[in-house]
Structure 1
Amino acid sequence: MNRQRMVVGISGASGFIYGVRLLQLLAELDIESHLVISRAALLTMAHETDYKLADVTALASHYHRADDVAAGIASGSFRCLGMVVAPCSMRTLAEIATGTSSGLIGRAADVTLKERRTLVLMARETPLTLAHLRNMTAVTEMGGIIAPPVPAFYARPQDLAQMVDHSLGRVLDLFGLDAGTATRWREPTTPCGSEPARERGESVANFAD
């Protein structure tokens, strides 16, 4: 394997742009991306963006149909850094938590967990029911990481794109990848184009991610 590889799942939760932007950042980092888009995500794409399926798949190194459970990424022998589901719906979360998915996103996530690779779920829902919380706990106990796309307001984002970039930058941090899009607390760089957070006497806890 010459290039590092990552599996990207886009499920039907609101926030389709997270998956699109993640593919763009992986390409900039020269990471080979393997994309799966659920049927529900195609509906979300139509409601939230002007993208067509061909536009999104063109951003990925490889595209796999959601029902193609014989794809390479469905096998533990497929070597990669891990997988991100961006965004992750509560249905997809439940399938991963219980290991009951019949589709490729759930199967690829299950493989990621059993091979002890990094699995990050950008869960998108609020408020959360007890079922949601229990499923998040189950995934966490199996070694997965629940990473809701929560804005970091200390970065003083100027628009939605900067908030998306910061969240994805923090997700890529979990794989040891620096996309240059996350504003670091009290570090001099300001990749999101905002001013560094100023000291106002508040505790760091008030600003922490």
Structure 2
Amino acid sequence: MASQSSHGADRIALAWTGASGAAYGLRLLEQLLAAGVRVELIVSKAAQVVLGQETDLDLPAQPEAMREALVTHLGCGSNTLRVYGREQWTAPVASGSNAPRAMVVCPCTSGTVAAIANGTSDNLIERAADVTIKERRQLVLVHRETPLSLIHLENMTRLARMGVTILPANPGFYHRPATVEELVDFVVARVLDHLEVDHELVPRWAADEERREAD
């Protein structure tokens, strides 16, 4: 990755789109804020609908009211969470002169993948992703749809060639998850790993063996 100026070093942009899997985005936000990361959140209209269907959280539409509701719900982030409107073109993430160090779209729809791959920039989520790519920052797309058509695969291939990380929401089972929350944590842990944010959400592969060998 190219060297980054200091203004974006401690900021991560997070976008929620209308794919199923709202719990992934909510848990990721919670973990980033708990780690002390400054998060700039953008929520699509469809994401608000899905969040209401899949969780007990009913978010207001206005950015500041949404921020307050999330801070109250998560119990953290009062000083590190910013929420921007979908058409708020004055947001820092809309300009390469103030880009964050990384951006994650979680969950990410196939439509959002297509829009980013083709640089349409019709809303703040797409524009922020376009800025992230052009400024050679880290972009992670947590795609949540199956099966994949050739259109989806070609769009993802195009983005992967640009250096974008395509991280499908595919949980593992080697840690023997017993709850839905543990499945969610597996995917969120992989995202945090790619963002180089410390966590202890799930046990790492062969970690017990490494500890035994060290002892």
Shorter-chain-normalised TM-score: which range? 0.7 to 0.9
Q: Answer whether contact 1:20 1:56 (CA < 8 A) is retained.
A: no
2:122 partner SS = coil
Q: 2:138: which partner in 1? A: 118
- Describe how 1:177-188 pairs up with structure 2 within 5 A: 177-188=197-208
Structure with higher helix content: 2
**CA displacement 1:129-153 (0-9 Å, x = unmatched):** 1100011111111110100111110
Equivalent of residue 54 in structure 2, options 48, 56, 65: 48
Matched residues, percent identical?
43
Equivalent of residue 175 in structure 2, options 155, 167, 183: 155
- Describe how 1:1-209 pairs up with structure 2 within 5 A: 1=7, 4-53=10-59, 54=66, 55-56=69-70, 61-188=81-208
The amino acid across from 1:160 in the alignment is V
Q: Answer whether contact 1:170 1:182 (CA < 8 A) is retained.
A: no
Task: Using the TM superposition, give the Cα deviation of residue 101 of structure 1 relative to its aligned residue in structure 2, in angstroms.
Answer: 2.6
The amino acid across from 2:70 in the alignment is V
Q: How far apart, in 2, do the equivalents of 1:135 and 1:57 lie?
A: 35
2:100 partner SS = coil
Q: How far apart, in 2, do the equivalents of 1:5 and 1:80 lie?
A: 5
Q: How far apart, in 1, do the equivalents of 2:130 and 2:71 lie?
A: 23
Q: How far apart, in 2, do the equivalents of 1:15 and 1:69 lie?
A: 27
1:174 partner SS = helix
Over the aligned positions, Cα root-mean-square deviation in angstroms equals 1.8
Task: Using the TM superposition, give the Cα deviation of residue 182 of structure 1 relative to its aligned residue in structure 2, in angstroms.
Answer: 3.1
Q: How far apart, in 1, do the equivalents of 2:53 and 2:8 lie?
A: 38
Q: Answer whether contact 1:66 1:103 (CA < 8 A) is retained.
A: yes
* TM-score, structure 1 as length reference: 0.85
Task: Using the TM superposition, give the Cα deviation of residue 79 of structure 1 relative to its aligned residue in structure 2, in angstroms.
Answer: 4.1
**CA displacement 1:36-89 (0-9 Å, x = unmatched):** 000111111121111021333665610001111221111112242200000000
Task: Using the TM superposition, give the Cα deviation of residue 3 of structure 1 relative to its aligned residue in structure 2, in angstroms.
Answer: 7.2
* TM-score, structure 2 as length reference: 0.83
Task: Using the TM superposition, give the Cα deviation of residue 160 of structure 1 relative to its aligned residue in structure 2, in angstroms.
Answer: 0.9
The answer for unaligned runs of 5 or more in structure 2 is 1-6, 60-65, 210-215
Q: Answer whether contact 1:169 1:178 (CA < 8 A) is retained.
A: no
Cα gap change, 1:65 to 1:57, in 2 (>3 Å): farther
The amino acid across from 1:27 in the alignment is L
The amino acid across from 2:134 in the alignment is K
